[in-house]
Chains A and B, each alone.
Chain A
Amino acid sequence: MKHIETLNEKRLQNTVEHGGCGECQTSCQSACKTSCTVGNQHCENPAQR
């Protein structure tokens, strides 16, 4: 596209079907203990990636 550059291919709605395995890290177990930072966690579900 000439006027719009899209940064990412992944679409959240496509994760509905195979999501929810729960294997990914709990946000407060990484490096935040007072703010909820979920968007930076990595998906660990091979079917999802």
Chain B
Amino acid sequence: MIHQYKNNGYDIVLDVNSGAIHIVDDPTYDMIGEYEQKSKEEVISDIARKYPQETEEDIREAYDEITQLKDQKALFTPDPYQDRVIDYTRRPTVVKAMCLNVAHACNLSCEYCFADEGLYFGKKAELMSFETGKAALDFLISHSGQRRNLEVDFFGGEPTLNFDVVKQLVAYGRQREKEAGKHFRFTFTTNGILLNDEIMEFANQEMDNVVMSIDGRKEIHDRMRPFHNGDPTWDIIVPKYQKFAAMREALGKQYYVRGTYTRYNLDFAKDILALADLGFRQISIEPVVAPREAPYSLRTEDIPVLCEQYDILSREMIKRHGTPEEFNFFHFMIDLEGGPCVYKRLSGCGSGTEYVSVTPDGSIYPCHQFVGKTDFCIGDVYNGISRDDIVTEFKGCNVYSRPKCRECFARFYCSGGCSANAYNFTGNLRDVYEIGCALEKKRIECAIMLKAAYREKGE
């Protein structure tokens, strides 16, 4: 299977099963489209008619180059993975990543919050105790098999509302990792309101990554991310984020400013550029995932406008590439040489198997998006996994178990997409969230085009 598209003056061909990416000239682009459908002489005749300026020698040469790549299994490569994935789904369950919801409470009232303003549909705010957190880390270590790198993201709600417990848990994790031969990678996600020098210094010592929530332009951010009383927050957080980001950059440590775009800012490229203009170099802005009836939810008819925004953004990134204004956009990152193996690409985020979420009372869910959906609770950190049936269902989620993914060119980049989104929109873990798919495909196309453009600029 191949995927062909044109973007920003580049003729791009993706060989889906090998991952090989080719930039070609116009006649070759058309020739590749016909190559598997017609005989060699028919193809050459068609191309000669369409491109009278091309010599027959050139056309035959291009045809031979295509054949050479096919022989090298870099074009029209058949799918060699489908049988292997069945074995892979029978793998032992190993947990290696945990979203630790240390606070089901929040000091903001973000309109689009999937977590019910931090409460996750619970009746009251709840903070995780140190004892429960310890049990969660113990559960992670004891279920991690041979995995060395264990990831813990302190999440919420707002984790800075319970930061003393975060600090205690990091200390406990550092102690346990030595005994257990593991390495914890701690991260946290914050809305910035309570961020202070002490937290920044602690995070700079202990956190592999920090995610700072902000939506972009002041008016866009303040509309969706106010305090409970409606007061704005942008002016409070931006100076702190700028300081924190500068500290992380000086230390060579990872950070992201991360936001959400909605139907209220379909021109979201401006928000990404606004963040870049504030000095942030690591930016992630994602489409909102919200019920159809929400006024800010994205709709099918918005897709062309949103895709155009990704084009605008990618062209601006090319302009800024190699200048002090250059920045990285998370969803255009693509690692063509050192990217994940095919097993990772088949099985995706690992929710419900490798990746779980733990609530303040110690309940375990397949991921943060399922927290509060009590039918999906798979156990607790004290007694372990009690719902192997649900774990088995998640373990079986892969690109081949989702019929719509089998024929999609993007399947080895999104790996079947988000199970929670699929469930929320279709009621079926093995279906897909169509708007999310359309946007992900566009992002992949832009990401590949950027690789070609950066190469041309001499990266």
Q: Which residues of A contact B (CB under 8 A)?
A: 1-13, 15-16, 18-45, 48-49
Contact = CB atoms under 8 A, between A and B. Distances in A.
A47 to B, nearest CB: 10
Given A38-B414, A44-B149, 14 more contacts: A3-B62, A6-B74, A7-B451, A10-B19, A12-B17, A13-B77, A16-B80, A30-B209, A34-B418, A35-B289, A36-B417, A38-B345, A38-B348, A42-B338
A20 to B, nearest CB: 4
A28 B159 CA distance: 17
B233 interface: no
Contacts of A42: 335, 338-340
A9 to B, nearest CB: 7
Interface in B306-357: 330-331, 333-345, 348-351, 354-355
Given A7-B336, A11-B19, A22-B147, A36 B341 contact: no
Interface of B: 17-25, 27-28, 58, 61-62, 65-66, 68-69, 73-74, 77, 80-81, 84, 88, 91, 94, 96-97, 99, 114, 147-149, 151, 153, 185, 187, 189, 209, 211, 256, 258, 260, 282, 284, 286-289, 330-331, 333-345, 348-351, 354-355, 367-369, 412-418, 421, 436, 439-440, 444, 447-448, 451-452, 455
Per DSSP, are chain A's interface residues mostly helix, strand or loop, or mixed?
Answer: loop
Given A7-B455, A26-B355, A39 B345 contact: yes
A38 B349 CA distance: 7
B21 A6 contact: yes
Nearest to B452: A7
A23 B17 contact: no
Contact of B17 (A7, A13, A26, A36): A13
Given A26-B349, A26-B354, A42-B335, A5 B340 contact: no
